[in-house]
Structure 1
Amino acid sequence: MPAIPPRFPVTPAEIDAVVEEFYFLIRQHPGLGPVFAAHVTDWPAHEEKIARFWRNAILFEGGYDGNPMHSHRAAGNVRPGMFDVWLGLFDTVLRRNLPIETAAQWSALAHRIGRGLRYGLVEAQTDAQGIPRLR
């Protein structure tokens, strides 16, 4: 059976570089750094897991067995405004490390995933007036 072609041209090494720089910035960020630090105790292992996530999402390599929605729900401290900040940092890293077209394609995928997480974690848990559902 032929392999599924990648969504767009990016190498595993480029994925690793993006993930490494992104989490370097996250650790320094005054708003996001403490949120991540409360849950991530082994940064190299976390970065490797997230690199596997992106290699699976982009290159269809497999090897990722996590559940991002479950992990972020379980964190319990993800807030609506964090998604825009997270994606802004991620877009900055993409633009610094990749050709323009590749950065744009990866950004579009990240924003689509971000919308899904935002919906699942925040919007699906509030009513039309923005009031949290308690059940």
Structure 2
Amino acid sequence: MTNALPPRFPITAAEIDLVVAEFYAALRHHPGLGPVFSVHVTDWPAHEAKIARFWRNAILMERSYDGNPFAVHQAAGNVRAQMFDVWLGLFDSVLKRHLRPETAQSWSELAHRIGRGLRMGVEETGVPGLR
């Protein structure tokens, strides 16, 4: 797919797919995050493909993702604001294991910006227990 905008940083679609797969493999075994995701995700390959499209859209500007992560996280009902720090720590560890340092750092910075927005969305729901 030809894009009008250049990628945010050098990375391949295959690298994005690898990071997403490795992250969700680790997440499924995480004692705090695994159970939260397992309530919502019944088809892991489909979920991973969708999230890989999200990242290819955000990084490679592919425009292949159709979704609203803010609404999904707000509506989940079991997502707590403090979970984003754990999620980002796990994500950063996967990035560092599988990517060149400069690529891992660039993706981490983007993930942290997005994570701050998602966290604020969860905090602003005003639903008791979500903060």
Q: TM-score range by the shorter chain?
A: over 0.9
The one-letter amino acid of 1:69's match is F
What is the deviation of 1:125?
3.6
- Unaligned 5+ residue runs, structure 2? none
Aligned CA distance change for structure 1 residues 2 and 38 (closer, same or farther; 3 Å): closer
Question: Cα deviation per residue 1:16-73 (whole Å; 9 max; x = unaligned)?
Answer: 0000000000100000000000000000000000000000000000110010011111
Length-normalised TM-score, structure 1:
0.90
CA distance in 1, matches of 2:3, 2:73: 34
Task: Choose between structure 1 and 2 for higher RCO, CA contacts under 8 A separated by at least 6 residues.
Answer: 2
Superposed structure 1 runs of 4+ greater than 2 Å apart = none
Q: State the identity %.
A: 70
Q: Give the CA RMSD over aligned residues.
A: 1.6
User: Mean alpha-carbon deviation: is it higher for 14-23 or for 75-84?
Assistant: 75-84
Task: Within 5 Å, give how 1:80-95 maps onto structure 2.
Answer: 80-95=81-96
- Aligned equivalent of 1:41: 42
Number of residue equivalences: 127
- Aligned equivalent of 1:30: 31
What is the deviation of 1:3?
2.3
Length-normalised TM-score, structure 2:
0.92
Matched, 1:105 2:102: no
